[in-house]
Structure 1
Amino acid sequence: MLSAGRIRCIRREKRQSALYQYQNDSRYFAQVAEGLKEAGAKELSELGAEDVNPEFSGIYFRADKSTLYRINYLTRLLSRCLAPLISYPCHDSDILYQKARQIEWDEFFKSDGNTFAVSANVSDSSISHSKYAALRLKDAVADYFKEKTGQRPDVSVKNPDILLNLHIRNDEAVISLDTSGAALHKRGYREDTVSAPMQETVAAAIIRFSEWDGFVPLYDPMCGSGTLLCEALMQYSNIPAGVFRKQFGFEFLPDFDAAIWKKVKKEADGRIRELPKGLIAGSDVSVQAVRASKANLMGLHYGNNVSVEKADFRKLPALENHVIVTNPPYGIRMGGDEDLEMFFKNIGDFLKQKCKGSTAFVYFGDRKYIKNIGLEASWKKPIKAGGLDGRLVKYEMY
């Protein structure tokens, strides 16, 4: 009979001869909102990724361990980073199940200590239902543990420890582990909110597209729950986007290196810098919105250096030589109580009359109101996210 030590040695040798796909080629896949793909690819390169290649549904890239950890900790634009485990031709659900069952899932997690969930996307394939495909993968994982340990791991849809991703396209299946864990837009600073809050990755993209560098003040005259203000603060002060995250999916990879992760985190945290008072500020006509903004900012480093006040933008003093960023309320956030065409005309008048020498970046969740601003745009960028097909529009007030 083989000793326990010998069995572990054999398994280690087996792993080394049959590495998972991401271990063989250091290639990963990033999910990103439509309209942010080009900016996401640029950010990946800035964070040290190589062979960055945008595809129809995301971005492929290569990274060593430290770079993968850094990307997950610092990215402001990406939604998730996936580590492919295996890929194979998959013409029916039995092949899907059988191949998935062969993966040694206990290298990733324990049946009695960790929860898991499966997400799936299927297109142009014999298997046509993504929910059924996800169920078959889930069954394969559960049956693996049932046979090995006599116990099935628990499934947690809302907050799993391990998130597996299944992608089937043209009858080719890829099973990946989500190295991010929870979606990366969930920063952790949002303590309070108002209706229809802006997604954090979209707000971060707007700050990035504004090219704001901190040399002039930044102001949001309709700040809502303060997402743009929070993302501007995090960018200026070099606060990692994942600073509040207690766990990442990459910590469950069989080759996870805790020492490298500790070093990456320490280096990133060491670059955090103070925000001068008066550099970032905002306002909103809603008392609830002002309260939410302040609550969200208070959780961040130097959030108390961001000023937020209750004010109607039409009654604000001049904001000359500023960068203005804003996501005007509309539809659900307006409550249907105001003439929206006139509301957006008032925004245009405010920019024209009170923001001389400033540059404004206005995000239109509903782009039909762009024409009501009455100003010539320098450019328009499509940003699709959170079910919206919006436009970010740049206005320069000379």
Structure 2
Amino acid sequence: MIAKTFFGFEEILEKELLQLGAQDVTPGIRMVSFIGDKGFMYKANIALRTALKILKPIYHFRVTNEESLYKGISGINWANYMNSNMTFVIDSTVHSDKFNHTEFVSQKTKDAIVDQFRTRTGQRPSVDKDHPDVRINIHIDKDQCSVALDTSGASLHHRGYRTATNIAPINEVLGAGMLLLSGWDGQGDFLDPMCGSGTLLAEAAMIACNIPANINRKEFAFEKWSDWDNQLFDVVTDSLLKKVREFHYTITGYDKAPSAVQKAKDNIKNANLDEYIKIEERDFFDTEKETKGPLHMAFNPPYGERIDIQMERFYATIGDTLKKSYPGTNAWFITANLEALKFVGLKPSRKIKLFNGSLEARLVKYEMYEGSKRAKFMNPIED
């Protein structure tokens, strides 16, 4: 099987799969391949935090033109995966000079499937782009075509808890990956000082408590398949929930907009995480660190794509607030405004290249020490 992900998340997705028990795990570009049975397919969809889709490959062939594409798709016995009363849709990705448009590939694939059913049964399945029974994935790379069933359906970033959003919300998979890259493991206090609709708070709590990422999701594509095993699904879900752990620290979110605070509270309640998370209407720039021990901070500040702010002053104030008010803090944030980073006025200890949608971004870390950094290393702790 293949787990698709964002650029930069391949290694953490590989780690997730190994921890779940996948076999022959091999990372690629924006994907990780692995071997697992039906139960593991269910488990991967429910539990993986950094996967966007779980695909089940069913056929592979060489393709050089329109005719070979049609012939290759026709060589699959589609009655093994659907019947003429079911609906389907084709998602195509093409990296080849032999085909110019993904829509053409999808249309030709659709024709081959429909023609096969019409020839054999006199009936044909219909296309439903919004809520199909079967979602088929076509991937053409140069002269190689891979055909897979999409086991997930809608992207796995649709966790099921976020019903209210603000301007420019962070994708849930991107948020989870950002937190895992930052080293967040739930062993300390957490703050999102610009929490918006609460995505990072929810993902942080689920990581801390080892709650399956998609436990609140309404449905997966495989639930419409002919071999759907509801009992096995329940067994897998129960086994994952038995591994949920207690959390003994604080997770806090701030936002200065009352509407954002209310939306975040609603989403956190939808996720059944309100016992772990406190959300307050506060302006980060007027706050200071309130916890005694180390603080893990992660946030998604605005960077001008859909929010109009004075970037230079805004990012400078982020740096000033961290420096003056948040000693003993590891602060991480993501931004696609690479120019604005120059105005933070602090040197990041790490920069990780990611993509927020089509925007190239950086996940940056600022280590704010108690006292000066020089003093930390000049005065080692004595036995």
TM-score, length of structure 1 as denominator length = 0.86
Task: Report whether the alignment pairs 1:384 with 2:355.
Answer: yes
Q: Displaced runs of 4+ in structure 1, greater than 6 A?
A: none
Deviation for aligned residue 1:159: 2.8
The 8 Å contact of residues 7 and 29 in structure 2, kept in 1 or not, is answered as no
The amino acid of 2:317's aligned partner reads N
Is this contact kept in 1: 2:202–2:273, CA < 8 A?
Answer: no
CA distance in 2, matches of 1:174, 1:225: 38
* 1:24-80 deviation line (CA, Å, top 9, x unaligned): xxxx22211111112222222222122222223422222233322211110000111
Find the counterpart in structure 2 of residue 322 from structure 1: 295
- Which of 118, 131, 135 is the matching residue for 2:107? 135
Q: CA–CA distance in 2 between the matches of 1:150 and 1:267?
A: 45
1:189 aligns with 2:161: yes
Q: In structure 2, what is the equivalent of residue 11 of structure 1?
A: none
Superposed displacement of residue 386, structure 1: 1.4
- More deviation in 116-125 or 192-201? 116-125
Contact 1:327 1:363 in 2 (8 A): yes
1:224 and 1:290 in contact (8 A); partners too = yes
Q: Percent sequence identity over matched residues? A: 37
Q: Provide the residue aligned with 1:294 in structure 2.
A: 265
Q: State whether residues 30 and 59 of structure 1, in contact with CA within 8 Å, keep that contact through their aligned partners in structure 2.
A: yes
Whether the 8 Å contact between 1:78 and 1:184 is mirrored in structure 2 is: yes
**Bigger shift: 238-247 or 377-386?**
238-247
Structure 2 unmatched ranges of 5 or more: 370-383
1:169 paired with 2:169, answer: no
Are 1:319 and 1:356, in contact at CA under 8 Å, matched by a contact in 2? no
Counterpart of 2:40 (choices 51, 58, 67) is 67
Structure 1 unaligned residues grouped into runs of 5+? 1-27
Cα distance in structure 1, aligned partners of 2:7 and 2:319: 28
| Residue pair 1:275, 1:302 contacting (<8 A) in 2 also | no
- Residue 125 of structure 1: CA displacement? 4.3
CA–CA distance in 2 between the matches of 1:124 and 1:106? 29
Contact 2:161 2:217 in 1 (8 A): no
Structure 1 residue 85 corresponds to structure 2 residue 44: no
How many equivalent residue pairs? 367
1:200 is the counterpart of 2:175: no
Q: For the residues of structure 2 that align with 1:48 and 1:186, how far apart are their CA atoms?
A: 24
Rounded Cα–Cα distance in structure 1 between residues aligned with 2:79 and 2:355: 38
Q: 1:185 Cα shift? A: 1.0
Amino acid at match of 1:141: I
After TM superposition, give the deviation of residue 333 of structure 1 in Å.
4.5
Root-mean-square deviation over aligned CA pairs: 2.0
Q: How many Å separate the matches in 2 of 1:258 and 1:374?
A: 55
2:200 corresponds to 1:233: no
Residues 177, 249 of structure 1: 8 Å contact kept:
no
Q: CA deviation at 1:304?
A: 4.3
Q: Tell me what 2:76 maps to.
A: 103
1:253-264 to structure 2, matched below 5 A, reads 257-264=229-236
Instruction: Determine if contact 2:10/2:29 at 8 Å carries over to the other structure.
Output: no
2:321: which partner in 1?
350
Q: Distance in 2 between matches of 1:385 and 1:104?
A: 39
Cα separation, partners in 2 of 1:89 and 1:204, compared to 1, 3 Å = same
Where does residue 20 of structure 1 map in the other structure? Answer: none
Of 35, 39, 42, the residue aligned with 2:8 is 35
What secondary structure sits across from 1:165 in the alignment?
strand
Equivalent position to 2:128, from 153, 156, 159: 156
Write the letter of the residue equivalent to 2:356: A
TM-score (norm 2): 0.90
Q: Which amino acid aligns with 1:148?
A: R
Map of 2:251 onto structure 1: 280
